[in-house]
Chains A and B, each alone.
Chain A
Amino acid sequence: MRKKALAFLSAALLAASGLAACSSGGSGSDANTITYWASNQAPSLQKDKEILTPRLAAFTKQTGIKVNLEVIAWDHLLDRITTATTSGDGPDVVNIGNTWSASLQATGAFVDFDSATFKKVGGKEKFLATSLSSTGAAGKAPTSVPLYGLSYGLFYNKKKFADAGIANPPTSWTEFVADAKKLTNPAKGEYGVSFAGASYTENVHFAYILGQQYGSDYFDASGKATFATPQNVKGVKRYLDWLGADKISIPSSAEHGQGQDAVADFTSGKAAMIMQQTGTTASIAAGGMKESDYGVVPLPIENPLPPGGRKITSFVAGINISAFKEKNTEAALKFINYMTSPAVQVDLNKQFGSLPVVGAATSDPAFQTPTKKVFVDVLRNSSKTMPMVVNESQFETTVGAALKDLVAQQATGKIASEADVKAALTAAQQKLTSGG
């Protein structure tokens, strides 16, 4: 009864505005043109266009398919995908943050990569297994394939380490804290580390990686949230202590809303270490620091590893590429195949400062420099994919925001206890489960 009334109301609304209820399909574009929404990977949207345009032209020459490119800032990308999904009026091909994979998979808006579809983009085997693990929920056909790979590393300032008499970069958290203390001198405005404590995504990355090291997940195998485990609490506490108990972080970390704010502290000499993703090399260069001035090693891990702990130093970060359903699928898949072909992977990842996601490309000399090698190794061997669950984005916002508040408290001198962390994680989980 009610359903009928509602359907009638909806239909009436659409009719009233002179519309027929056709929310899906109707691409109308010709077979030889596709629209591609690229994400922002370069120092500016303009630069992205400059890097991509010659590649797209080569693709058009090869296949006769024209590509309309639009580069979209990260701030707007998810909103644009949401509206495109709901209205059915979207591009043929789109980049997505790979942690969105499972959420976007649930909408059913993207083409499924079953084995037949995978063949059209060069086969499943060509992709790195870790990157491929971040393309959708387990047991379902992925709706995206990897495009650019990223992983976390610890960047350290070589000169500062030498000045402080530290021979080697830290490999365990205990060493890390000890080294950072040596590097911290608030009177001179120098600190061991800087991080983006007001960025909910970065917060959640560290909560996740450290949770893994202590041996716990944020979701169990059935997809149920398990935020406030003792191990997760320990992991978060380790993160908060940089600013709280250990006092090794620059205080303004608490209001850094983006990773680049930490990078700015690193390049200006205020912080001796940062933990950032691969692409950061470009921002460090933009900040005026040469590649010989800094070293990169994997993130520290607990030593000895806690019982059940895993040697994880990064999540599988990166950008995936998807094709919208009911569009020009054939051309879209050809394009995705092209973008993930070894030669294009080498070229684009080199220019964007990211990592190839196909095995054949990683052996290129461009990714064998000491710095890049570390990131490739981390991505291949010590990375774990973020939870591939439908409400991953809620996980990020709720846990990330909870940590943001805790970090702020550390900065203002209210040092969190394990009980405080547990309470915050429990509250975050409540928000997730009652959301329906």
Chain B
Amino acid sequence: MTSLSTAAQSGGLPPADEAAPPGPEKVRRRRRPLSSRALPYLLLAPALLFELLVHVIPMLTGVAISFLKLNAFYLRHWLQAPFAGFDNYAFSVNFNSAIGAGLLRSVGVTILFSVVVVSLSWLLGIFGATLLQRSFRGRAILRTIFLVPYALPVFASVIVWKFMLSQDTGMVNHVLSSLHLSDGKTFWLLGNNAFVSTAIVAVWRLWPFALLTLMAGMQSIPTDIYEAASVDGAGMWQQFRRLTLPMLKPVDQVLILVLFLWTFNDFNVPYTLFADSPPASADLVTIHIRQSSFITWNFGLGSAMSVLMLLFLLVVTVGYLFVTSRRTHDA
């Protein structure tokens, strides 16, 4: 839930201050040089301090641990754990071994899961936002209803889905069998169905955020553009394709990245559904890493896997921003 901002900061959004450089210059000249140079740092210092404490230092510690053989024997004096070099990394990426193969499959599942969840959330979001773009009676109420799942605490919303998806007493099977669509005995939380179920739960929680962001984006598109297009005889679909979608590009760029990072790093949804032993089809990488560290007390290996995930996400993010920024500029 925490990555929105940062993703955006490095994102392709042109920060306004760069668009108006004279401002800072003027301010700086007017103040005494030393204090004015120190001022921005002073303003940033508290935020930086807490970020260092809670994120940066633990992260570096995690990187350090990934080079240790930190198992049950060294848990108590972890600083004395033997140096393992790149052993933990070698284990993680040896795809012929059970551990490497398991990680690879888990990453594959997670990528597929993220792609499915992000696409569906975005599609529902843009669909909903378009339908809600013009005012009609009941619009405000509908918008409010749609946003409720996003506001619910994760545990509450996932547990109700778990209850609905249960094979024996669940609502989903009840509905399907009364509509004669199935025999009502489907296992939604086992086998490959577990993937579908987890994705639906994740989309249910996430699409309202896409809706909210896209509605905000559409609000800022000037209406006179539409009027001009309308005069030119463009139909609603064409207006959507030729005006709305291109205008939303900068919003999409950030939104999709944020949705992706949230989904990829999501722990609460699969954990609430399956606790520590998800079916193979829903073995998302966060749960997998927890298995490899907290459950089996192999923190060195778990840290190595986390660092690999971090590198993977960095590459994906930078690549994504590179490609999308260029496209946006070309457009």
Chain A residues packing against B (C-beta within 8 Å): 2-3, 6-7, 9-10, 13, 16-17, 21, 23-24, 75, 78-79, 82, 85-86, 88, 103-104, 106-109, 198, 200, 250-252, 254-255, 257, 270, 390-391, 393-394, 397, 400-401, 404-405, 408-409, 411-412, 427, 430-431, 434-436
| The one of B72, B85, B279 that contacts A107, using a Cβ cutoff of 8 Å | B72
Q: What total count of A-B pairs have CB within 8 Å?
A: 127
Which residues from A are CB-within-8-Å of B191? 408-409, 412
CB distance from A280 to the nearest CB of B (A): 19
CB distance from A30 to the nearest CB of B (A): 24
| B190 pairs with A254, CB closer than 8 A | yes
Task: Identify whether the interface residues of A are mostly helix, strand, loop, or mixed.
Answer: helix
Chain B residues packing against A (C-beta within 8 Å): 52-53, 57, 60-61, 64, 67-69, 71-73, 75-79, 83, 85, 87-88, 91, 97-99, 102, 166-168, 185, 187, 189-191, 274-277, 279-280, 291, 294-298, 301
Which residues from A are CB-within-8-Å of B102? 431
Enumerate the 7 nearest inter-chain pairs by beta-carbon distance, A residue then B residue, closest first: A252-B168, A430-B98, A408-B190, A431-B98, A106-B72, A252-B167, A107-B75
CB distance from A192 to the nearest CB of B (A): 16
| The one of B57, B275, B297 that contacts A257, using a Cβ cutoff of 8 Å | B275
Question: How many angstroms between the C-alpha atoms of A7 and B291 in the bound complex?
Answer: 27
Question: How many angstroms between the C-alpha atoms of A393 and B290 in the bound complex?
Answer: 13
| A10 pairs with B77, CB closer than 8 A | no
| The one of A107, A255, A411, A435 that contacts B99, using a Cβ cutoff of 8 Å | A435
A403 nearest CB neighbor, chain B only = B277
Question: How many angstroms between the C-alpha atoms of A31 and B221 in the bound complex?
Answer: 70
CB distance from B154 to the nearest CB of A (A): 15
| A252 pairs with B79, CB closer than 8 A | no
| The one of B98, B276, B297 that contacts A427, using a Cβ cutoff of 8 Å | B98
Which residues from A are CB-within-8-Å of B76? 24, 85-86, 88, 107-109
| B79 pairs with A21, CB closer than 8 A | yes
Which residues from A are CB-within-8-Å of B77? 23-24
Which residues from A are CB-within-8-Å of B87? 436
Which residues from A are CB-within-8-Å of B83? 2-3, 6
CB distance from A207 to the nearest CB of B (A): 14
Question: How many angstroms between the C-alpha atoms of A254 and B187 in the bound complex?
Answer: 9
| A255 pairs with B167, CB closer than 8 A | yes
Show 28 residue pairs from A and B whose CB-CB distance is below 8 angstroms, ordered by the A residue: A2-B83, A10-B61, A10-B64, A10-B79, A13-B57, A23-B78, A75-B275, A82-B294, A85-B76, A106-B73, A107-B75, A108-B76, A251-B168, A252-B168, A254-B187, A257-B274, A394-B296, A397-B276, A400-B277, A408-B190, A408-B279, A412-B187, A427-B98, A430-B97, A431-B102, A434-B99, A436-B69, A436-B298
